[in-house]
């Protein structure tokens, strides 16, 4: 018999809804990161004003979480100097109620203490936490340009051939304790392959990680899982087996498959991350005008599929965050 509410020819599904049924989908926007360099796009935010403007635009377009790195305003080079964070944190907090998520990944070539400095100082509601050591190759982008605005750009890309993005068990435990237990942050657990989801499951089982879990399936980084539907399905199945029911997942794909795989993630019952940190384009071969343009596009897709963008406060409730009044900026 045809079901009058959802048009299905079958009896009502007992599965969790995907994008449909007005499900709240958390949109994260990662506005600048440390992968891309100023030569690659004039739209990549570099100064504090640009990072603030990009973040405010993304929040207005529907992003509940803003994932932040800083850059040296003179050169555009990735920076984890808290002095480079403060001006844009203050401005974003004044003009939006978005959840600030400060990266602890920094740039894959920075030492851990440098990477942790801004999250330690500003005690945000959320931080990223990369769940394993890995190769993190951005050097293939060297082939795309013959001239660079700054010497550090090709040097940094080339360095990723020999450097390892170090996130040892000891590092992970230190971050959980320092930023989670002592400063009350919840984590965006960034998992780039199945082994890192296993590591997350290990710490949950050991009782080191409590409360709502927000795992980011990261696809498309050279050294981690490639950006394919098959890999996403495998990661979701692995997380379903290892993580407590009710865990939250989000999907990001670095590179041109960003929108397609985020859409797939939403359809599978997850949340989405976009932003120029992960991908500079808005459609194949076309540079995005802004972070907000990418947020608006994924929001349109989510809404077309029957979902709704979760507000910052709805996200705070879903993830049991400590609240805006407990951050130090
Ligand atoms: N750009 C992502 C692929 C972090 O900030 O901790 C990795 C990332 C790492 O977001
Ligand atoms: Zn990041």
**Closest approach atom of ligand 1 to CA 34:** 1
171: in domain: yes
What pLDDT does residue 220 have? 98
User: pLDDT per residue over 192-240, tens digit each?
Assistant: 999 999 999 999 999 999 999 999 999 999 999 999 999 999 999 999 9
Strands 286-287 and 99-102: unpaired
Helix (H) or strand (E) holding 86: helix 82-95
As a whole number, mean pLDDT of residues 61-86 equals 98
Distances (CA, A) of 111 to 105, 153, 165: 10, 19, 9
Strands 134-135 and 126-130: unpaired
13: in domain: no
Strands 24-25 and 308-309: parallel
12: in domain: no
DSSP 8-state symbol, 151: T
pLDDT > 60? residue 6: no
208 alpha carbon – ligand 2 mean position (Å): 23
- Give the residue numbers spanning the domain of 152: 24-326
Of 1-10, 110-119, 291-300, the least confident: 1-10
Q: CA-CA distance, 307 to 298, in Å (whole number)? A: 11
Facing residues of 224 across strands? 222
As a whole number, mean pLDDT of residues 276-304 equals 98
pLDDT > 60? residue 292: yes
User: pLDDT per residue over 229-283, tens digit each?
Assistant: 999 999 999 999 999 999 999 999 999 999 999 999 999 999 999 999 999 999 9
115: in domain: yes
Q: Closest Cα to atom 4, ligand 1: which residue?
A: 105
16: in domain: no
207: in domain: yes
283: in domain: yes
Q: Closest Cα to atom 8, ligand 1: which residue?
A: 105
pLDDT > 80? residue 10: no
As a whole number, mean pLDDT of residues 83-100 equals 98
Q: CA-CA distance, 121 to 135, in Å (whole number)? A: 28
Phi, psi of 48, deg, nearest 5: -60, -40
Query: What CATH number did the domain enclosing 163 receive?
Result: 3.20.20.70
Are 129 and 189 within 8 A, CB to CB? yes
For ligand 1, say whether the CB of 33 is within 6 Å of any of its atoms: yes
Number of structural domains, the chain? 1
65: in domain: yes
33 alpha carbon – ligand 1 mean position (Å): 7
**Closest approach atom of ligand 1 to CA 30:** 10
- Rg (alpha carbons) of the chain, rounded to whole number: 19
What pLDDT does residue 99 have? 99
Determine how many CB atoms are found less than 10 A away from the CB of residue 281: 16
């Amino acid at each position: 018999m045809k079901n009058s509410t959802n048009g299905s020819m079958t009896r009502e599904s007992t599965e969790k809804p995907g994008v449909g049924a007005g499900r709240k989908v958390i949109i994260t926007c990662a506005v600048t990161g440390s992968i891309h360099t100023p030569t690659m796009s004039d739209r990549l935010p570099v100064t504090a004003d640009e990072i603030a403007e990009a973040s405010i635009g993304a929040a207005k377009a529907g992003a509940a979480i803003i994932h932040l790195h800083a850059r040296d305003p003179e050169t555009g080079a990735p920076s984890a100097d808290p002095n480079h964070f403060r001006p844009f944190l203050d401005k974003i907090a004044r003009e939006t109620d978005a959840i600030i998520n400060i990266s602890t990944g920094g740039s894959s070539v920075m030492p851990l203490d440098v990477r942790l400095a801004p999250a330690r100082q500003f005690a945000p509601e959320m931080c990223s936490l990369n769940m394993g050591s890995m190769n993190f190759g951005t050097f293939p982008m060297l082939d795309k340009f013959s001239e660079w605005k700054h010497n550090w750009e090709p040097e940094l890309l080339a360095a990723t051939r020999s450097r390892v993005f170090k996130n040892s068990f000891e590092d992970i435990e230190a971050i959980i304790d320092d930023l989670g237990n002592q400063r009350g942050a919840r984590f965006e657990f960034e998992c780039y392959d199945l082994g890192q989801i296993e590591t997350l499951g290990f710490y949950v089982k050991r009782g080191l990680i409590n409360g709502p879990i927000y795992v980011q399936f990261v696809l498309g980084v050279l050294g981690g899982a490639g950006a394919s539907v098959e890999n996403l399905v495998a990661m979701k199945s692995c997380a379903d087996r290892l993580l407590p029911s009710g865990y939250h997942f989000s999907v990001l794909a670095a590179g041109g498959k960003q929108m397609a795989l985020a859409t797939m993630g939403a359809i599978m019952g997850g949340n989405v991350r976009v932003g120029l940190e992960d991908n500079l384009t808005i459609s194949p071969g076309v540079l995005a005008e802004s972070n907000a343009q990418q947020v608006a596009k994924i929001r349109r897709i989510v809404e077309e599929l029957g979902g709704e963008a979760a507000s910052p406060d709805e996200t705070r409730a879903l993830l049991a965050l400590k609240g805006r009044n407990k951050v130090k900026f």
